[in-house]
Structure 1
């Protein structure tokens, strides 16, 4: 009898753990489907707009700079050069913004005991990460097939850049999710502070072309490293010696830690505001 008791306790614990994991997965999927319907199901074209927006931005920059310069900083295709900068930046930006508003978007549902702030954050990150990866893959494939780039792809840096952009976007989004709920004007302050980020991340240029003084400042922007890694995957002769993956990981894990810490401690206060 005494030997069977611990075995029954372990079985009961395992069943309880399985039920909780199943309930969490089901909740995340429900939140994910709700957001898909809300964001893409109510507008004409739906997911088509997720493709048209980056295509429009890349084309505008490519045409504009082709009128000013004979060749892009790397390679021979302005469209491919700007795509290697814009798409990872856009991936980071979309994920960070959407994750930051996870609690606001799912606020009515978070008052139910079955739905937690973790479910809301994971669901929003998953949908936007998968959408961003799909858009990036489709656009890069279309550019390579439609233009005579003659590029030799190196998949490892491309995958690494996408993964780091998602990680950084998630980390910044989680921290901002907490700070926007705790500090009323944080959304406005962050928007103003990061307005020059597009230019300061190397979307329109490469790091090596900047003056030495600018390089010493821009190096501390983790997006510069992410974009440098991406361009190494499309331009075989380009070697971004300034890139530091540990630095990008450091810039991602620190805000992620504090974001999760603040949300776990103050998510109830944020929801009740």
Structure 2
């Protein structure tokens, strides 16, 4: 019995997903533990550097909880977009099989990064809970919605990066660097309300700011961030995602023959 196109694509993505897991973690002695160690080490360094100052600046908020709800969303965005850059090169031989398309590699890589960092987030938040840090998941729907839109937004940027890097291979080194400044303007290290209102428009155009602040609102009691909108996040995400799909659709044949 012939399988439908969706069933074939699902099987392709599953196979690519398993291949990504083996490629990503199979060569390391500590395996999956590295996925937890990277953000945990980053978190500890930031707490060590800024913990005392931020505790005095935000005495009513757990700084580790505040920080992790900024770092993990940014890692999801950064890893998905950066891993899309060389997705074609890493899977070039597989495109000889007609069912395998470049977009399948993006879906597989984005799915893996999302699963990894959701698990890492839950582990680190659990550790913080055991250590006595204060937080409560009082708005799971907002948190899940913000992160789902984050993944779509990241996939949209990732598709654009994949198209650009395939057309201009020399940009492979530049594109990851281009996203680095977002770390400093995405409210990861500071709350939006600490910035004077007249400067908010310089920051709130960035959808990552909305993801980060919505994540904090969902887990920190009394944390309210004016100027943040789930509607804006939805609109900007759909625009970027469909722009990425159009860029991919118009260049798919060129990517398969390059």
Instruction: Note closer, same or farther for the CA distance 1:230–1:255 as it changes in structure 2 (3 Å cut).
Output: same
- Indicate conservation of the 8 Å contact 1:92/1:165, yes or no: yes
Aligned to 1:208: 193
3-state SS of 2:56 partner: coil
Match of 1:51 among 31, 36, 51: 36
Structure 2: distance between partners of 1:191 and 1:74? 35
Q: 1:188, CA displacement in angstroms?
A: 4.1
Match of 1:77 among 62, 87, 105: 62
Q: 1:58, CA displacement in angstroms?
A: 0.7
1:124 paired to 2:124: no
Gaps of 5+ in 2: none
Query: What are the equivalent positions in structure 2 for 1:77-226 lying under 5 Å apart?
Result: 77-146=62-131, 148-154=132-138, 155-226=140-211
Instruction: Note closer, same or farther for the CA distance 1:22–1:163 as it changes in structure 2 (3 Å cut).
Output: closer
User: Alpha-carbon deviations, 1:16-39, whole Å to 9, x = none?
Assistant: 4x3433332222111111111111
Structure 2: distance between partners of 1:102 and 1:84? 28
Single out whichever of 156-165 and 28-37 deviates more from structure 2.
Answer: 156-165
- Indicate conservation of the 8 Å contact 1:71/1:77, yes or no: no
Structure 2: distance between partners of 1:19 and 1:163? 27
3-state SS of 2:180 partner: coil
Instruction: Note closer, same or farther for the CA distance 1:231–1:26 as it changes in structure 2 (3 Å cut).
Output: same
- Indicate conservation of the 8 Å contact 1:88/1:161, yes or no: no
Count of matched residue positions in the alignment of Structure 1 and Structure 2? 257
**What's the TM-score once normalised by structure 2's chain length?**
0.90
3-state SS of 2:19 partner: helix
Single out whichever of 150-159 and 25-34 deviates more from structure 2.
Answer: 150-159
Structure 1: distance between partners of 2:187 and 2:117? 20
Single out whichever of 106-115 and 40-49 deviates more from structure 2.
Answer: 106-115
Instruction: Note closer, same or farther for the CA distance 1:182–1:249 as it changes in structure 2 (3 Å cut).
Output: farther
Structure 1: distance between partners of 2:105 and 2:55? 48
- Indicate conservation of the 8 Å contact 2:62/2:134, yes or no: no
User: Alpha-carbon deviations, 1:47-81, whole Å to 9, x = none?
Assistant: 10000000001111112112435435363432112
* Structure of higher CA gyration radius: 1
Structure 1: distance between partners of 2:26 and 2:38? 17
- Indicate conservation of the 8 Å contact 2:146/2:230, yes or no: no
Aligned to 1:31: 16
- Indicate conservation of the 8 Å contact 1:98/1:128, yes or no: no
